[in-house]
Amino acid sequence: MNGWKNQLYYGDNLQILREYVTSESIDLIYLDPPFNSKATYNVLFDEQNGTKSKAQIIAFDDTWHWNQEAEESYYETIKNEPKKLADLLEAFRMFLGQNDMMAYLTMMAPRLLELYRVLKPTGSIYLHCDPTASHYLKLLMDAVFGQKNFQNEIIWCYKSGGATKKRFGRKHDILFFYSKNPDSKTFNTQKEKSYMMHKYGFAKSNFQEDEKGQYSWVIMKDWWELPSVGSADKQRLGYPTQKPEKLLERIIKASSNKGDIILDPFCGCGTTISVAEQLSRRWIGIDITYLAINLIKNRLHDTYVHEFISKLSDYEVIGDPKDLNSAYALANESRYQFEWWALGLVDARPANDQKKGADAGIDGHIIFFDDNSGKSKRVIIQVKSGKVNVSHVRDLKGVMERERSPIAALLTLEEPTKPMLTEAAVTGFYEPEFFPNKRYPRFQIITIEKLLSGEKLKYPEFSLATFKKAKKKTKDKAKQTKIF
């Protein structure tokens, strides 16, 4: 299959798996399905009447709710899927009732079936979860993948802030490792330092030397002590569910080879994708928010595109608007997703996630530096998907003055009126003190159509610091295998 491009999909992973990913085409799957484990445990089991609006996982709001969508998914699974899985879901519902936990399991069941379908006979899957739902998820995995294909329950231990005197500190996650066929699975044995040598510094005489005079390592155990991504970690990109790269390195090295295809159907900030790229694997990532898609695009660029050369493999983004009609369709589907997508067109960072008013009239911003003071400046941005008029310009100018922003931009789906253009023009120009020959319109109105055609915002782009930069890396020197 020559001409393979890595793939980053925007949309519901169930639909994308069914429509775009062929059977037995994936070598390794890692998934960390979002779940609101920080909620009060009892709240997750409260009965719900199913009349709430359709659930969507948007950005960091990772709670699944029992509603009409969950009800429909439940009956579809009971009606059409294997009896073992249907019986298990019925038993779950009898035990749990209609609540967030049941909604989560109901939504996961058909997705796990699709992941089983796309996995190669030599492939493996690692499902990442915490103890809140791990016992239920393991039963689902047994029903879909089969008990005999269970390989390991891996315990990831980490240190982090926060503790309570009411119980032992909760400082571990769980990964369920299953294979499609235990006799033919890809598995590369991983080694680690002896726990006793690593922790207690036992004398070297307690360990056997190899022929090079070095002390042997032992086969890796099923509990891993790795640091989480803390607030001060250089890896941290501001995504609260971000996992450490070392965790994904272990999984990818153990259960895949160079050139294999790695799938992450809940790819979030893209750790799986970035590590797969680093290790010369091909990859497919899926996420339901443009916030994640934009973050991943920036992460890949910052990590693998150096000043004069790109180490980034070819990839394509699928599911995002490519023309004006599809932009209108996205705006009609979800104004929040449209807003995040539009901000991505200018490499801006969202200012308020999904709650309007959090930044008082600012939808996004771009941070830049244009002098040697070390003090940053902001381009403030507002996105409009509906009708616009001169009042929108005047309102944003007020925000601009309040925030003392040198430049403001209005991104609009509709064409601006002549009074809007006049009001913007009289705002004048911003001239950086250290670059007297440069000047930028202080108020800019750009339509989505022009952005899709390649027009850019005008501002001092040097030392751009919109997203936190991912650390630059050099990929594995071995050439990536092309089997497509």
- DSSP labels, 138-192: HHHHHHHH-GGGEEEEEEEE---S---SSS----EEEEEEEES-TTT------EE
More confident residue, 42 or 285: 285
Which tokens in the block code for residue 365? 């911003």
Check: CB of residue 475 under 8 Å from CB of residue 311: yes
d(CA 306, CA 284) in angstroms, rounded, equals 23
pTM equals 0.81
In the three-class reduction of DSSP (H, G, I as helix; E, B as strand; rest coil), residue 88 is classed as helix
End-to-end CA distance of the chain: 2
The average confidence (pLDDT) of the chain is 83
Q: Give residue for tokens 């790795």.
A: 226
Report whether 129 contacts 137 (CB < 8 A).
Answer: yes
* Distance of alpha carbon 402 from alpha carbon 381, whole angstroms: 14
pLDDT at 311: 83
The pLDDT of residue 84:
94
**Whole-angstrom distance, CA of residue 268 vs CA of residue 287:** 6
Identify the pLDDT of residue 428.
Answer: 95
Query: Looking at the predicted structure, is the pLDDT value of residue 372 above 80?
Result: no
Residues pairing with 155 in the sheet: 174, 223
- The highest-confidence range among 61-75, 419-433, 461-475, by mean pLDDT, is 419-433
pLDDT band at 232 (very low <50, low <70, confident <90, very high): low
Residue 202 has pLDDT above 60, yes or no: no
Pairing of strands 218-219, 191-192: antiparallel
Give alpha helix (H) positions in 222-270: 245-255
Q: Which residue has the tokens 């989560």?
A: 104
Confidence at 470, pLDDT banded by 50, 70, 90:
low
Cα 35 to Cα 62, 65, 156, 478: the distances in Å are: 5, 11, 18, 37
Phi, psi (degrees; rounded to nearest 5) at 407? -140, 140
Q: What is the mean pLDDT of residues 129-144?
A: 93
Angle among Cα 25, 30, 36 to the nearest 5 degrees reads 135
Question: For residues 366 and 456, what is the distance between their CA atoms, to the nearest angstrom?
Answer: 13
Least confident of 260-264, 290-294, 395-399, 404-408: 290-294
The reported pLDDT for the residue numbered 472 is 66
Question: SS3 for 128?
Answer: strand
- 477: tokens are 């020197």
Structure tokens at 381: 């941005």
CA proximity to 276, closest of 480, 427, 453: 480
- Which comes out higher in pLDDT, residue 208 or 317? 317
Dihedral angle over CA of 122, 128, 132, 138, nearest 10: 0
Backbone angles phi, psi at 103, to 5 degrees: -60, -40
Region 459-481 average pLDDT = 57
pLDDT at 425: 96
What are the two backbone dihedrals, phi and then psi, of residue 262, each rounded to the nearest 5 degrees? -105, 135
Q: What is the pLDDT of residue 239?
A: 58
Return d(Cα 365, Cα 347) in angstroms, integer. Answer: 9
Whether 397 shows a pLDDT value over 60: the answer reads: yes
What is the share, in percent, of the chain residues with pLDDT greater than 70? 80
Instruction: Dump pLDDT digits (tens) for 445-458.
Output: 999 999 999 999 99
Average pLDDT over residues 351-372: 71
> What pLDDT, on the 0 to 100 scale, is given for residue 130?
84
Number of other CB atoms surrounding residue 49 within 10 Å: 8
The pLDDT value recorded for residue 205 is 45
Q: Which residue has the tokens 């030392």?
A: 463
Task: Indicate the pairing of strand 429-430 with strand 440-441.
Answer: antiparallel
pLDDT per residue over 324-347, tens digit each? 999 999 999 888 889 989 999 998
What number is the average pLDDT over the span 310-317? 89
Structure tokens at 113: 């079936």
The pLDDT value recorded for residue 481 is 34
pLDDT by residue (tens digit) across 156-170? 998 876 778 888 888
Which of these, 27, 11, 195, lies nearest to 121 by C-alpha position? 27
Q: What is the mean pLDDT of residues 147-156?
A: 96
Task: Give residue for tokens 């899927």.
Answer: 81
What are the DSSP calls for 366-380, one per residue? EEE--SSS---EEEE
Q: Residue 210 pLDDT > 80, yes or no?
A: no
Least reliable range by pLDDT among 22-26, 55-59, 194-198, 411-415: 55-59
3-state SS class at 462: coil
Band (151; pLDDT cuts 50, 70, 90):
very high
Say what the pLDDT of residue 1 is.
44
Average pLDDT for 306-315: 79
